[in-house]
Amino acid sequence: NKKDIATITNTNHIIKKYNFHLKKSFGQNFLVDLNILKNIVSSADITEETGVIEIGPGIGALTEQLAKKAKKVVAYEIDQRLIPILDETLQPYNNIIIINEDILKANVNKMIEEEFNGYEDIAVVANLPYYITTPILMGLIEKNLPINRYCVMMQKEVAKRLSGGPNTKEYNSLTIAVNYYTIPKIVLTVPKTVFIPKPNVDSAVVRLDKREEPAVKVNDESFFFKVVRGSFIQRRKTIYNNLKQSLKGVLTTDDIKTALKAVDIKENARGESLTIEQFAKLSNEFIKYVT
C-alpha cells in the first residue's frame, strides 16, 4: 500500500517534514520494508482478540501493521519528539495508545490492568532499541506479567544467544534465564539494508513463548540465578573456580566440591557445558549447605 508508513519514500518524507534528527543513543533505526513488517506481525500470530504491547514505535511503521490486525496496541516511546509525529502518522487508527515513557521505568502491570482488562491474549511485538535489549526483555519476562508471547527484533548475536544450547559460543546466563521462563525461537533473520539508517549489525526476530511452568524446578529462584550467573563470571575458568569466587561467604570451598560431586559435575567443567537441568540440580544441592 502506497500509504503505509514503512516505505523508503514515506519514511524520508516524514523525517524531512518534521526536521527529525534520528538519535543513535535511543537506538533509532527505522524499518522501511513492508514485507518484513508483515512477516513479524504474522509470526506473532496477532488476531482481533490480541492486545499488543509495542516498545519503541518510532514513526509508527510497525505500530500501523499491528493495529490492522490487533484489537488494541499500546506503544511505549521514550522520545518526546516522536509523539506529535505519531499523532499524525497513526491518525487513521482508533485502536492505538501511545505512552511517552521509558519502558524500563513503566508500570506495565498497571497498564495491562487498565488497557487490557478481560483480554485473554497479550503479546509484546517490537523492533527493540538494541542498546537495551536484555534489560527490556528480562525486565518484562521476570515480572511474571500476563504476557503470552514476545515477538521481537534484536541484534542477531543476541538472538543466537537466546536460542543457543550448551557448548555454543553464545550460551551464557542470559540464555538460561530466558529459557527458564520461555521457549525462544529465531523466526526471521533480517539484513541491515532494510533500516534507515543502516545499523552496524545484522538482526533477527525471535519469538518467545511463555512457559506455563518454569523449565526446571528450583527450590530458590534467586539463588538459582546467582549460581547460574556465578558460573559464567569468567568464561575460560572452570565452574569450580568461578563458584569459589562468586559464592564466597555463602558456601565453603569444601561444600562446593562436595555438591559438585553429588550431582556428577566435574570440578573442571565449564559453565557453558551445563544444561539448565544441571544448573537446577546443582543449585538445589547447594541450598542444602547454606545456613
Binding interface with ligand SAM (CB under 6 A) = 26-31, 55-58, 61-62, 76-79, 102-104, 127, 129, 132
CB of 191 to ligand SAM, least distance (A): 15
- Orientation angle between helical segments 276-287 and 173-181, nearest 10 degrees: 90
Nearer to ligand SAM, 4 or 170 (CB): 4
Q: Annotated binding residue at 77?
A: yes
Give ∠ CA 240-241-244 in degrees, rounded to 5: 80
CB of 25 to ligand SAM, least distance (A): 9
CB of 171 to ligand SAM, least distance (A): 26
Q: CA nearest 48: which of 22, 67, 75?
A: 67
CB of 54 to ligand SAM, least distance (A): 7
Q: Annotated binding residue at 90?
A: no
- DSSP bridge partners of 122: 51
Query: For 108-144, b where at least 16 C-beta lie within 10 A, e where not — what string?
Result: beebbeebbeebebbbbbbbbbbebbbebbebbbeee
Query: 30-31 and 96-99: which strand pairing?
Result: unpaired
Nearer to ligand SAM, 196 or 263 (CB): 196
Q: Annotated binding residue at 31?
A: yes
Q: What is the DSSP letter of 160?
A: H
Report the alpha-carbon distance of residue 23 to residue 32 in Å, rounded: 17
Q: Annotated binding residue at 39?
A: no
The residue with cell 538445589 is: 284
Nearer to ligand SAM, 137 or 247 (CB): 137
**Terminal alpha carbon distance of the chain:** 65
Nearer to ligand SAM, 198 or 235 (CB): 198
CB of 55 to ligand SAM, least distance (A): 5
Task: Give me the residue whose beta carbon is nearest to ligand SAM.
Answer: 56
Which cell numbers hold the place of 162?
537466546
Please enumerate, by residue number, every residue annotated as part of a binding site for S-adenosyl-L-methionine.
Answer: 29, 31, 56, 77, 102, 127
